[in-house]
Copies of this chain bind each other. A is one copy, B any other.
Amino acid sequence: MKNRTWTVYLSGEIHSDWRDRIRDGVASADLPVELTGPVTDHATSDNCGVDILGEEPSDFWKDHKGAKLNAIRTRTLIANADVIVVRFGDKYRQWNAAFDAGFATALGKPLVTLHDPELTHALKEVDGAALATASTPQQVVRILGYVCRGTL
C-alpha cells in the first residue's frame, strides 16, 4: 500500500484556519494525502458567476450563477474524494456544508465532521451520518494518519 494516495475533500467553514492546520499536520506527518476543497476566498466565490458570465440585477440570480459555477468544482471533487471532512464553525448558517455532507453520504463516501461540542445537538443528523466526529483539526490529522498508515 505504500503508493496509495488518499484524496480528502475539506468542506465547510472558510473563516478560520482549520484547513491550514490540517494541511500543516498532513505535511508534518508526511501523510500520503491529497487535500482538495472549495474555493475559500469569500469574495471570489460569491462573485465568480457575475464576474465571468455577466452582471445580474437581482441578488437571487447573481447568487444562482455563482453557486452553480462553484458546484462544477465542488461536486466533481467530492465525487472523486475518498473521504469528506466537513467543518462547522460557530458563525453563519453554513448550509452548504450540511448540503455537502448529505451529498457525500448519498454517494457512500466516508464522512468526518469537525465542530465544537456545543454544536452537537444542532448537528445530530449530520454527525449521525458521519464515521467520526472530531473537535480539533489535529484529531482529523490523526484520523487520516490512522486510516492511511494504521498506526496511532
Contact = CB atoms under 8 A, between A and B. Distances in A.
A39 B150 contact: yes
A71 to B, nearest CB: 6
B72 A96 contact: no
B124 A66 contact: yes
Nearest to A39: B150
Contacts of A6: 76
A99 to B, nearest CB: 4
A15 interface: no
A13 interface: no
Interface string A85-100: 0001000111111111
Interface string A116-133: 010111111111110111
B131 A69 contact: yes
B53 A4 contact: no
A151 B110 contact: no
A51 interface: yes
B128 A64 contact: yes
Given A52-B146, A72-B110, 10 more contacts: A51-B152, A69-B132, A70-B128, A73-B150, A76-B147, A94-B95, A95-B125, A99-B126, A102-B102, A106-B107
21 contacts: A1-B36, A4-B34, A39-B146, A44-B150, A47-B152, A53-B133, A53-B139, A57-B57, A59-B120, A63-B128, A67-B125, A73-B146, A76-B147, A93-B93, A93-B122, A95-B97, A96-B125, A97-B98, A98-B98, A99-B102, A102-B104
